[in-house]
Amino acid sequence: MIWLMAMAFIASGVGGVLGMASGIFLVPLLTIAAGQPIHAAIGLSLISVICCSCASAPLYLKAGLTNIRLAVVLETATTAGAVAGVLCSGLLPTRVLYLLFAMVLLLSALQMAGKRTIAPTMARARGRLASTLDGSYRDEAGRQQSYQIARLPLGLSMMFGAGLLSALLGIGSGVLKIPAMDKALRLPIKVSSATSNFMIGVTAAAGATGYFLSGMIDLARAGPICLGSVAGSVAGAAALRAVHPGRLRGFFVLVLLLLAAAMLAIAFGGAPTLLASS
Amino acid sequence: MTEAEDRAIDGIVARIFALGTRVATTAIVAGISCQVMLHAYRLGLDLSLIGVGLFILLPVIVVLTMSALYLRRGRSFLAAMSIGVLLIVCLGSLLSMVAAR
């Protein structure tokens, strides 16, 4: 119980500092360190993702950074993807899941190593729907900044993929959401982080409900995971004010690469787990 | 819809998240305390399950509230989108139950 709580705390805390969901760290921790089967780890990780999203959502909403009108439109695609992901998860061999996870870890490491940039909004006709979802937020200097939503259909299709990946692997799917928000929808980074945080909770809930009803969530282990995740996300948010995430990125790129190597090792022949099943 | 109305909806959603997280966390803490300190395993597990269930349902409750708020304010498109999300979640739950049998 203590181990599960500690793992969820570490994964959520690190995720909070780096602006990522906890799942990308928690699934490898649960499979490699705690010896959980990958389907059980994915179910528990989805619960952790929901807890982190719920715990941090009020902060972003009160700061006026979350665009819930845009989120609810994008959620139609992410939840549809999540339902498809839950249905596919039972059909894919575990080896494929490990391989997919390793690929996501590698891509996340690449994303983290690179600089995040927003493509400039092109001056061209936008759909009426996209213009109703435009918004504004206050920057650090207290100035009101307006932004426009671009290429909504492309964003929606990428969000379907993000939802599918989220339910399939128990992650927040930043690997697809970041390009969708930055390059397709062209949202400011703060708005995209806050809106994505709101969305991952709903997407993970769609996935977790499916896993729960299929009997793939170990409810006895879910309690400690929830507590660790809520505490971790609060600690991560506090640490974010004290630590500059840029300084930590190099270290966590290395951690992601090591986790990817471990997941690949399991996919191609199995690797010993560090702890007995807790 | 004015920006002030948008902010009001943001505030309601934030309050639901904050309250739901507090209630769910309290239920899980009470459940684990019962298991560890009082050795009341069955009661402890039940309390933990209530907390975990509330966490899973919390985002769905938020979307349900959003759909009601948008309907009341005559934002039919956003209300339809929220209801669409809820229907997809329900459809997914049904399909998962069928697949599990």
Question: Chain A contact for B23, CB < 8 A?
Answer: no
Instruction: List, for residues A173-220, the tens digit of each pLDDT value.
Output: 777 887 788 878 888 888 888 898 899 999 999 989 888 888 888 888
User: Would you list the DSSP string of B23-48?
Assistant: HHHHHHHHHHHHHHTS--HHHHHHHH
Which range, A97-111, A149-163, A178-192, B64-78, is most confident?
B64-78
Q: Where are the alpha helices (DSSP H) in A151-218?
A: 152-169, 174-179, 189-213
Closest Cα in chain A, distance from residue B96 (Å): 5
Structure tokens that stand for A76 in this block: 């139609």
pLDDT of residue A277: 44
Contact assignment for A61 to B11 by CB distance below 8 Å = yes
Structure tokens that stand for A51 in this block: 């807890």
Averaged pLDDT score across all residues of chain A: 84
Question: Chain A contact for B8, CB < 8 A?
Answer: no
Mutate to test the interface with A, among B52, B73, B82 (most CBs of A within 10 A): B52
Question: Chain B contact for A210, CB < 8 A?
Answer: yes
Name the least confident of A192-206, A234-248, B85-99: A234-248
Q: Which residues, 6+ apart, have CB-to-CB distance to A261 below 8 Å?
A: A102
pLDDT of residue A64: 87
Among candidate residues B85, B91, B61, the one with its CA nearest the CA of residue A87: B91
The answer to ipTM > 0.90 is yes
Question: Chain B contact for A57, CB < 8 A?
Answer: yes
Domain spans in chain B, listed from the N-terminal domain onward:
3-100
pLDDT of residue B53: 93
Phi, psi of A274 (to 5 degrees): -80, -35
Average pLDDT over residues A20-47: 88
Closest Cα in chain B, distance from residue A71 (Å): 10
In chain A, the residue whose alpha carbon lies closest to the alpha carbon of B50 is A223
CB contacts, 8 Å: B8 with chain A: none
3-class secondary-structure state, position A221 = helix
CB A27 within 8 A of CB A170: yes
